[in-house]
Structure 1
Amino acid sequence: MTSTQVIVLVLVVLVVAAVAAALVIAGRRRALRQRFGPEYDRAVAEQSSRSAAERELRDRQRRHAELTLTPLSPEARDRYAAAWEELQVRFVDSPHETVSDAHELVTRLISERGYPTGDFSDQIAHLSVEHARTLGHYRDAHEIHERNARGEASTEDLRQAIVHYRALFADLLGTEPVGSRPAQPGTTPTSHSESADQPSPTESHPTSPPQQRTPHDVPTR
């Protein structure tokens, strides 16, 4: 084999190796996009590079694998669904208190499923692995909850918070499909309002009282 042939062979091997490496990277990237959805783009925007964002997301997967997640029993699911329906009805008379109650109820459900509930960013990171579609809702709900605690949230903001909380709540219960990320709080919902107008988590249970009032029935004060 001549030196020229050796050089050509080495170049071919290097090209094949580069193509194989590119295919592996592309496959991993595609898997992360499919798993994290909108959280993938958010991580890329927040990190210094796409590679750093992907390392962060893989680290989330590793940490998530260390959790001991617990599926809800039918009794627990019914209990949470009934609590949510009662909460929605209370919104008419006590919107400020109801948003606080919704925050506590969702936090309790997150904890019972086996997710950490201490630091909010840590909580988001763990939830993003299996519930990425609803994290935009949850972030908005949390932000309104904090403004509510400072006395800065309007009734329409509070109604939006209930809608946002309901998206993650239903996702964790596994009782209702969720839509795309909603409009910002205080604006008229578009695609999300269409999703949120679907039956509430409790309406899939025959024992639930019919025709219950939902947050969308609440007039803006």
Structure 2
Amino acid sequence: MTAVAWVAVVIVAVLVILAVGYLVSARNRRRHLQDRFGPEYERAVRESDSRKEAEQELLAREERHATLDIRPLDPQTREQYARKWAEVQERFVDAPGFAVTEADALVTAVMAERGYPTDEFEQRLSDLSVAHATTLDHYRKAHDVSSRAARQEATTEELRQAMVHYRALFQELLGDGADAPRHDHTDDATYATDGYDGTSTNGHHADVRKAQR
């Protein structure tokens, strides 16, 4: 085999190795992003012109998130926010629209306390998606209802659902799903039914307080 032929073989071998390495790297990156972002990965792909573009966007979110000073809440602050949520939750019975607006503000306050920028809603979604992707759709739905509630366009049932959605993200932000104090309902089914139908009877108040214990 001539020297030129050997050079050609070596070049081809190097190209094959590089191609295999690229494919392996791309596959590992994709698996990492799918594990990290969960349902947000597929959403990003649907909303982008290509999978590659979506993955670049998600990688950019990770890079931005790494520059943020995200910090856990201390026990006393968690306790204070948990009490505030319980108060908002009780007010839902008499003033559901107002309670949902308060819930939105409370979630935003916890985000700021944790170190998340809170100026623009879309940027909030982007920043939260890195560490809270599984509950992000809850936030989208709740925020949409809250916006319509401000215009008095949301039904009581929608407001009730908004509280459930806000609660999902709120609890995760409060303690990242681990050791946050639980001052409200033990499951979504209870939360979604007991005392959240917009009435203001004493019985419903009792149901809410009972469900919180």
TM-score by length of 2: 0.83
Asked if the contact 2:71/2:114 (under 8 Å) is kept, the reply is yes
Asked if the contact 2:142/2:163 (under 8 Å) is kept, the reply is yes
In 2, Cα distance between equivalents of 1:220 and 1:72 = 32
The residue number in structure 2 matching 1:152 is 153
Shift of 1:10: 2.5
In 1, Cα distance between equivalents of 2:8 and 2:176 = 62
In 2, Cα distance between equivalents of 1:100 and 1:45 = 30
Per-residue Cα deviation, 1:88-127 (whole angstroms, up to 9, x for no partner): 1221111111001101111110111010111100111111
In 1, Cα distance between equivalents of 2:56 and 2:167 = 31
The residue number in structure 2 matching 1:197 is none
Q: Which is helix-richer, 1 or 2?
A: 2
Shift of 1:66: 1.2
1:86-125 to 2 correspondences below 5 Å? 86-125=87-126
In 2, Cα distance between equivalents of 1:30 and 1:157 = 36
Per-residue Cα deviation, 1:57-78 (whole angstroms, up to 9, x for no partner): 1111111111111210100011
Q: Which has the higher contact order (CA 8 A, sep 6+)?
A: 2
Which structure has the bigger radius of gyration? 2
Asked if the contact 1:115/1:123 (under 8 Å) is kept, the reply is yes
The residue number in structure 2 matching 1:126 is 127
Q: For structure 2, list consecutive stretches of 5 or more residues without a partner in the other structure.
A: 199-213
Asked if the contact 1:91/1:215 (under 8 Å) is kept, the reply is no
The residue number in structure 2 matching 1:64 is 65
In 2, Cα distance between equivalents of 1:175 and 1:44 = 26
Q: Give 3-state SS (helix, strand or coil) of 2:72's partner.
A: coil
Query: Is 2:195 the partner of 1:218?
Result: yes
Q: For structure 1, list consecutive stretches of 5 or more residues without a partner in the other structure.
A: 178-199, 205-212
Query: Is 2:4 the partner of 1:27?
Result: no
The residue number in structure 1 matching 2:211 is none
The residue number in structure 2 matching 1:207 is none
Cα RMSD after superposing both structures: 2.0
Task: Give the stretch that moved more between structures: 130-139 or 11-20.
Answer: 11-20
Residue identity in the other structure for 1:201 = R
The residue number in structure 2 matching 1:43 is 44
Percent identity between matched residues is 49
Shift of 1:7: 2.9
In 2, Cα distance between equivalents of 1:216 and 1:88 = 13
1:161-176 to 2 correspondences below 5 Å? 161-174=162-175, 176=177
The residue number in structure 2 matching 1:182 is none
In 2, Cα distance between equivalents of 1:94 and 1:15 = 66
